[in-house]
Structure 1
Amino acid sequence: MGMPMDDIHAPTVPSGPTSRLGGERDISKLSMNELFKAKEQIEEELKMLSEILQSHGVNMETPLTTFDGYPRDDLDIAQIRTTRARIIYLRNDHKAIMAKVEQGVHAYFADIRNRDTCDKSTGDQQPPPTTHDATEEAPVDQSGLVETPFAKVSSVADGSPAAQAGMKVGDKIRSFGTVNWMNHENLRKISEVVQSNEGMPLIVKVARSGEPSQALVNHTLQLTPRRNWGGRGLLGCHLVPL
């Protein structure tokens, strides 16, 4: 009789930040457009792989052994292990891309601040901000898509992932990961993106009323859906369609 395979549920992938992107192309040389496209491709594949696991009635944590340590004969263990390994592989890629996107976002806002500083130091007079509805002068993303708000934050739980990301009641959602006003399908797509990106940061763009003029100010948040934060759901906030 052979020894029980206690670690059969462990994916056979290299440890560390090894990523298929590292072997195919240098992330540092990708434009923001290319980064977002790669991010979307990875998220689509992760969604498909998650559905494969669900079809087997398991997730990333489901044990593949019996109580006494032997492989379960009711599961296709080989396919499940391969699928789990690919998910881990892609999550490494996604984290690398999101880190680069975050750097790009910080660089973008740093450039804006530097320009403002230069304008003030040279005496250039900038027109005062005007109060406007974000649907009238909505920002444009890297692909040229107008980011019109399509949802509003109606509640945010204390200590939740949404609260930690800086989300506030009244924020108007302009984009949520890959979801925007054109494809949100009555917010259903947000739920799909959240479920398929548990534990991975999502870029969320919001428009928020500023003080004291109440003009809408645009903010870019990094929100990581997760469980076990002490409340219900993966976000800890409630959104309603506009």
Structure 2
Amino acid sequence: MTSQDLIQQVKDSLQRLNVQRQSLELEAEAVVSELNDRSNGEPMGVDTPLTDAEGFPRADIDVYRARTLRGRLSVIRTDHKGLMQNIERTLQQLAALQNPNKALEEKAELEARLQPKPLPKYDPISKKWVVKNWDGSVAGAPNGKNRSFDNLLADNAMQIEVDNPVALASSITPANEQSVLPKIPSRPFARVNSVEPQSPAFQAGLAENDLILRFGNITLDETSDPMKSVRDIVPKAAAEMSSIPLTVRRNTTEIVTIHLSPRPWAGRGLLGCHIVPYLS
């Protein structure tokens, strides 16, 4: 049997179901009309009481006929509901036969919606954290339907470069590249007040009371407001899944270089540490 034969078979079935639907609706209309007929006085009614105020069967109507009609109307309504569900399923079957690709697309969409969602990313254009839609587009950003979550960084590369070409290129070092740091500054501008266990800062090796001499390309000598600059580059590094080289002074004399990778984690923020300005 060809696909066209199947389609015709379903159409014939649908036509028979439609005839049954029309028949039930016409019969229901006739039953309701008789129950509401006022030509001989008060109507029997579809759901009005069949007893008088004293509890006796009403003498002004044929109670047996009223009960028979009401019982039939209840059966018609039940049959009609089941018939409409059958018609709906048949219509869906016909649509799947006429457009088999649509059924595959709907299945693929359902599977995509059930896939686990990746972690949010920082969007430098909207300056917001965004998430991935089931179709790979961006949720939470303007024009997100026309953008790719997986290629978010490529979409934003030109905009980021225009916004701050020097700071981004010099402050953020990709995790798979070796960084070459300039001369070690002598004056710290911040102190690590606390480090949360299992946080990105903890895993990078940052410790409480470390004095930060350099954070990426940020130093006290080269930046007027280093703490603000730190706040600016951290979300950008998280968005690009890049690491930031840090130079810290530990235990008064020890100089340590670490690579910190900001990212969402189970705790607050992207670093998992509290950094405060250092006052010498």
Between Structure 1 and Structure 2, which shows a larger proportion of helix residues?
2
Greater Cα radius of gyration, structure 1 or 2: 2
TM, length-normalised to structure 2: 0.42
1 or 2 for the larger relative contact order (CA 8 Å, sep ≥6)? 1
TM, length-normalised to structure 1: 0.48
